[in-house]
Amino acid sequence: MAQLSPSRRVRRTPFSDGVEAAGVKAYTVYNRMLLPTVFASPVEDYHHLKQAVQVWDVSCERQVQVKGPDALRLIQLLTPRDLSKLAPNRCLYIPVTDQGGGMLNDPVLIQAGPDTFWISIADSDLLMWVNAIAGCNDFNVQVTEPDVSPLGVQGPRADDLMAQVFGDRVRDLKFFGCDRFAFDGFDFLIARSGYSKQGGFEIYVEGSERGMPLWNTLFEAGKPLDVRAGGPNLMERIEGGLLSYGNDMTSANSPLECGLGKYVSASQLGSCFGGRALREEIEAGSKRMIRAIEIDGGEVPGCDRAWPLRAGGAAVGQVTSAAWSPDFATNVAIGMVDAGHWGAGSELEVETPQGARQARVRDGFWN
């Protein structure tokens, strides 16, 4: 692995001092911000995440704040998902699509105040898209990136740690439920959510100055729970089927291809961006579909580019994330597979930079 050159352009976070003190070894860059990826080692971090509790600096999940009387009307234009179930205590996962129905981002939408919404984004500058649409349509809204940095608390002991800092009421949050909880004189917005399948929370830290006091308190309170710094873990997220925007899907893919059909509401297809293209795809059937894929043989190399999938010599898709899974003792992968080949058990060949491997489509992920 090469090193990452420091610059202001690759932004630090309110928690970077804590991340460095915890001995971060590697980062990725996400929304032009540092996202810590490795502390002890990928495998040690993986086992620890599944057994204890980790605090994750996911500040890079930036918020696109839409504020004003027309905010919800604007946001409803951005996504094929019907937003009528959004509520102050419930966040929603919303595919965001362009004119052709391609995925621009797959954020979580959260209501932060009466007329204030946060679109908690994956890795693309959705701020530009939303701001341009707001300006061109003369909506009565302000679109900004506020000083809000999510902090993840993930792992089977997450409830115990959070209850110590925010009180037992935090245990009552349901999945994708959210509410405000007091710490140090401020009410933090907290959701039961996060980018692992081990359970946990995301704390939306408003105001950078509140970052390190909260970080330090979580680590102090979590000592008996063996709390450690962590981050999204490639092996664990592939096992769990958590998609990564930019890896497993891009603007070349529709939400239907990404297996997100349940978030595409027929009622919105007449008005949202890309609605016509999505309706045509529903009628004609999708050309490819995202799938869990098992790859035979020993540990695969790092998947830093799409790996072609073949069946009988013909191109039938690509693998976009892959890693050796210690717990399942196989290579776990995510890929897009063409129609006719995406059924469970479909035998494929995957072309890795270290040669071809046998692979097959599974009926689901590893959880």
Amino acid found at 61: E
Q: Which residues contact 48 (CB under 8 A, 6 or more apart)?
A: 40, 54, 155, 226, 228, 230
Sign of the Cα pseudo-torsion (297, 298, 301, 302, in order): positive
Q: State yes or no: residue 26 binds its own copies (CB under 8 A).
A: yes
Q: State yes or no: residue 29 binds its own copies (CB under 8 A).
A: yes
Hey, is 102 helix, strand or coil? coil
**How far is the C-alpha of 264 from the C-alpha of 282, rounded, in Å?**
10
Pattern of binders to its own copies over 82-121, x per CB under 8 A? Answer: ----------------xx----x-----------------
Taking alpha carbons only, the member of 52, 2, 24, 17 closest to residue 224 is 52
List 109, 112, 126, 158, residue binding its own copies (CB under 8 A): 126
Q: Residue 110 in contact with residue 204, Cβ under 8 Å?
A: yes
List 12, 90, 310, 362, residue binding its own copies (CB under 8 A): 12
Residue 223 Cβ vs its own copies, minimum distance, rounded to whole Å: 25
Residue 137 Cβ vs its own copies, minimum distance, rounded to whole Å: 6
Which is closer to its own copies, CB of 101 or CB of 222?
101
**How far is the C-alpha of 161 from the C-alpha of 172, rounded, in Å?**
14
Sign of the Cα pseudo-torsion (206, 211, 216, 222, in order): positive
Q: State yes or no: residue 196 binds its own copies (CB under 8 A).
A: no
Q: Give residues 290-329 in contact with its own copies (rule: CB under 8 A).
A: 302-306, 320-321
Hey, is 85 helix, strand or coil? helix
List 132, 182, 339, 344, residue binding its own copies (CB under 8 A): 132
Which is closer to its own copies, CB of 213 or CB of 301?
301
Residue 30 Cβ vs its own copies, minimum distance, rounded to whole Å: 8
Amino acid found at 38: V
Q: State yes or no: residue 139 binds its own copies (CB under 8 A).
A: no
Q: State yes or no: residue 212 binds its own copies (CB under 8 A).
A: no
The span of 47-55, 133-141, 235-243, 343-351 binding its own copies (CB under 8 A) equals 133-141
| Cβ neighbours, 10 Å, residue 349 | 15
The span of 49-57, 126-134, 175-183, 206-214 binding its own copies (CB under 8 A) equals 126-134
Residue 38 Cβ vs its own copies, minimum distance, rounded to whole Å: 7
CA 164 and chain centroid, separation: 26
List 82, 125, 294, 351, residue binding its own copies (CB under 8 A): 125
Q: How many residues bind its own copies (CB under 8 A)?
A: 49
Q: State yes or no: residue 209 binds its own copies (CB under 8 A).
A: no
Hey, is 172 helix, strand or coil? helix
Q: Give residues 236-295 in contact with its own copies (rule: CB under 8 A).
A: 244-247, 273
Q: Which residues contact 292 (CB under 8 A, 6 or more apart)?
A: 241, 332, 333, 334, 361, 362, 363, 364, 365, 366
List 46, 56, 118, 129, residue binding its own copies (CB under 8 A): 129
| Cβ neighbours, 10 Å, residue 208 | 15
Total residue length of the chain: 367
Hey, is 274 helix, strand or coil? coil
Q: State yes or no: residue 135 binds its own copies (CB under 8 A).
A: yes
Instruction: Summarize as ranges the residues that interact with its own copies (CB under 8 A).
Output: 1-10, 12, 24-30, 32, 37-38, 98-99, 104, 123-126, 128-129, 131-133, 135-137, 234, 244-247, 273, 302-306, 320-321
